Amino acid sequence: MIKSDHRPLYLQVIDKIKEDIDKGIYEAGERLPSEFQLSRQLGVSRATLREALRMLEDENIIIRKHGVGTFINSKPLFSSGIEELFSVTDMIQRANKKPGTIFLSSVVSPASDEDRNRFNNAKVNEMTIIERVRTADEEPVVYCLDKIPKMYLPDAVSHHQQSIFEQLEDAGIAISHAVTQIEPLGYHDEISEILQCGPETALLVLKQLHYDEEERPVLYSLNYFRADKFKFHVVRKRV
């Protein structure tokens, strides 16, 4: 039951549901009782409960599926400021998880005009394209597609060294910054299956063009992050 205090009832409902989640009364992926049952348990009107659920949905604490019910959302395991440039390996290690790699393919293909334009280099003739799945404690969490002009990594890409950043550094190329585009994506027939996530799990796609200390674009990455595992934020300053 909601205890009376001076705050609006919907705020008390929000705090009570959050408290129940923290105590393990409701676990990630679990379905909440119906609105009728929950409003009776909490001693509030259904209108008050709906307002609380709406705000909890805005905070990504719950997921409401029309005609199915309301479910507790999974807490992201990894959180990172998007203004900070970390490799996926670094992000996983910062969450105290063991990073791993499942190599799907590594091929060398002729460079297209789009590749030469993207890397601003007419001398790019071949591209090394690496397809991998990154794991955290052996759980698949990120699908990665990396494209590198072969001239920057002339030797074969190592399947044992996990970070592409580190392999470029070993070749004398230090990544300094990246231009990133973020796109939300729903279920993807191939990638969602590879990452072992169901239709209800969205993906976050980071399209990144990485530059070295000489301002040369040297790496283009398409990273598909499980949205239930990763959360990105950005610090915005007024200028």
The DSSP code sequence of 5-23 is: -SS-HHHHHHHHHHHHHHT
Between 61-65, 103-107, 118-122, the lowest mean confidence (pLDDT) is in: 61-65
pLDDT at 85: 74
Please provide the average confidence, as pLDDT, over all residues in the chain. 87
Both tokens of 163, joined, read 């970070």
pLDDT over 80 at 84, yes or no: no
pLDDT, tens only, 128-142: 999 999 999 999 999
* Mean pLDDT, residues 216-222 taken together: 96
CATH of domain 78-233: 3.40.1410.10
pLDDT over 80 at 160, yes or no: no
Look at residue 129 and give its three-state secondary structure: strand
CA atoms within a 13 Å half-sphere pointing along the CA-CB vector of 173: 21
Between 56-60, 117-121, 170-174, 230-234, the lowest mean confidence (pLDDT) is in: 230-234
pLDDT over 60 at 168, yes or no: yes
pLDDT over 60 at 80, yes or no: yes
pLDDT over 70 at 83, yes or no: no
Give the rounded percent of residues in the chain with a pLDDT score beyond 90. Answer: 54
Confidence of residue 68 (pLDDT cuts 50, 70, 90): confident
With a CB cutoff of 8 Å and minimum separation 6, the contacts of 197 are 203, 226, 228
Between 105-114, 152-161, 166-175, 221-230, the lowest mean confidence (pLDDT) is in: 152-161
Could you tell me the residue ranges of all domains in the chain?
9-72, 78-233
- Nearest Cα neighbor of 188 from 207, 201, 175, 169 is 201
| Residue of 84 and 165 predicted with greater confidence | 165
Query: Residue 85 in contact with residue 175, Cβ under 8 Å?
Result: yes
Confidence of residue 74 (pLDDT cuts 50, 70, 90): confident
pLDDT at 79: 65
pLDDT over 70 at 212, yes or no: yes
| Residue of 79 and 166 predicted with greater confidence | 166
CATH of domain 9-72: 1.10.10.10
Let me know if 226 is exposed, middle or buried by CB neighbors in 10 A (0-12, 13-18, 19+): buried
CA Rg, the chain, in Å? 22
Q: What is the spatial distance between Cα 140 and Cα 221, in angstroms, rounded to a whole number? A: 18
* Mean pLDDT, residues 102-112 taken together: 93
pLDDT at 2: 56
pLDDT at 114: 96
